[in-house]
Structure 1
Amino acid sequence: MRGRFDPRRGRVEPVASEKTDETGQITVSELVSALHFDLAEWLGTAALPKVFDRISGALDEQFTSVVTTGQAVDRETFLAGIWSARNALAGVEIEVSEIQEIARSGQLIVVRFVAENRIGESKTGKRTVTAVLVTDGRTYLWRTVHETPVPEPAQPAASETPTPAAAADDVIA
């Protein structure tokens, strides 16, 4: 098997192009999950530099990202931020869900998913992500990402919580 040796696991990790579905194509879910696993490992542990190498290797040379603050950043700025954030969120896991391939045409794939950071039982940073990937049929690179924060559900203030009697009055009125 071709890949990178992981001394902590004592085995060779397959490269992304070896992960395929029954048709021989890599699945979008695997692409999304693999990158976010590496991001969580880098942000949440004292990861080896090879984890950063996998992240940077997954990004197209023309990569851009619109982060949750609305700021657009280029590949170098994004990677510099990731590099400096190594182990900044100790124990973080990034859960990805609702992965959907929106479109595929020629060398472009558009995907949308929900990502949420979790540290222990605490979940924060839920966002909807739309990404464009480019492929030559063997390798897949992230060209652009746009993250939109999902607002936390509003919790009613103690004074705004209706009493059963008040709720009944609203229904009757």
Structure 2
Amino acid sequence: MSTDPVLTEVVAALHWDLAEWLGTDALPKVFDRISGALDEQFTSVVTTGQAVDREGLLGGLWSARNLQPGLEIEVSDVVELARSGNLIVVRFVAENQFGGAVTKRWVTAVLVTDGRTYLWRTVHETGVPET
């Protein structure tokens, strides 16, 4: 399956912003970019199995600014699984590197696009066991 390079950039950009927000004394404009990337109907299922809505996620993120100094998030294996109308299903690996520890998770996401902008509608994360 081939993946549109723009889609790969969209996935990477959100994760760079998340790493900057969580890992530095970032300016509020970084939070604004994250918030602006999430659809109004956004939901997420995190690795603990908890379902979170847009308001809950953004509230938690706002208070987590610079709580993991030096955090890096690498995105790889971006694959477009399906596209229908304005919906895109994508899967990728997100790897957090913090304090010498590495945590990987598979992420499946649905994005909504008008062909110009991309908004994250839902995300489901699954932890990757350590090998």
TM range (shorter): over 0.9
Q: Please name the residue that 2:110 is paired with.
A: 132
Q: Please name the residue that 2:7 is paired with.
A: 28
TM-score, structure 1 as length reference: 0.72
Q: Please name the residue that 1:150 is paired with.
A: 128
Q: Distance in 2 between matches of 1:103 and 1:118?
A: 29
Q: Please name the residue that 1:50 is paired with.
A: 29
Of residues 73, 84, 93, the one that matches 1:94 is 73
1:137 deviates by 1.4
Report how many residues are paired. 128
Q: Please name the residue that 1:19 is paired with.
A: none
**Maintained 8 Å contact 1:41/1:47:** yes
Higher relative contact order (CA 8 A, sep 6+): 2
Q: Distance in 1 between matches of 2:118 and 2:11?
A: 11
Larger Rg: 1
Q: Please name the residue that 2:46 is paired with.
A: 67
Q: Please name the residue that 1:106 is paired with.
A: 85
Identity percentage over the alignment?
A: 76
**Maintained 8 Å contact 1:35/1:58:** yes
Q: Deviations over 1:53-94 (max 9, x none)?
A: 000000000000000100001000000111111000000000
- 5+ residue gaps in structure 2? none
Change (3 A) 1:150 1:26: closer
TM-score, structure 2 as length reference: 0.94
Q: Please name the residue that 2:60 is paired with.
A: 81
Q: Deviations over 1:1-60 (max 9, x none)?
A: xxxxxxxxxxxxxxxxxxxxxxxx871110000000000000000000000000000000
Q: Distance in 2 between matches of 1:116 and 1:80?
A: 23
- Secondary structure at the counterpart of residue 27 of structure 1: helix
- 5+ residue gaps in structure 1? 1-24, 154-173
Q: Please name the residue that 1:41 is paired with.
A: 20
> What value does the CA root-mean-square deviation take over the aligned residues?
1.2
**Maintained 8 Å contact 1:116/1:123:** no
